Amino acid sequence: MENFQQNKCFSQARELFEDIICWLNSESVYEIQHSDLEKNFWTNGNELLRRLLQPTFCIFQ
């Protein structure tokens, strides 16, 4: 049961990670400049880290 709860806690992070991968596999990536690609990585990467860290606080409370 505990493992299920932990997996549920990280579902938002997993969802964003899958979104990032889908975006990277899309043809729209080839149409943007390198600097815009990096900006997107920074934005989504930081959000992904936040979503990974937030449930950890809940689990250890």
pLDDT at 61: 62
Q: How many CA atoms lie within 13 A of 43 on its CB side?
A: 7
Element (H, E) at 60: none
Provide the Cα torsion 28, 26, 46, 10; round to 10°: 150
Report whether 23 contacts 17 (CB < 8 A).
Answer: no
pLDDT at 9: 82
pLDDT at 12: 93
∠ CA 9-16-42 to the nearest 5 degrees?
120
pLDDT at 4: 55
pLDDT category, 1, cuts 50, 70, 90? very low
> And the tokens for 11?
């579902």
**pLDDT by residue (tens digit) across 3-61?**
655 567 889 999 999 999 999 999 999 999 999 999 999 999 999 999 999 887 776 66
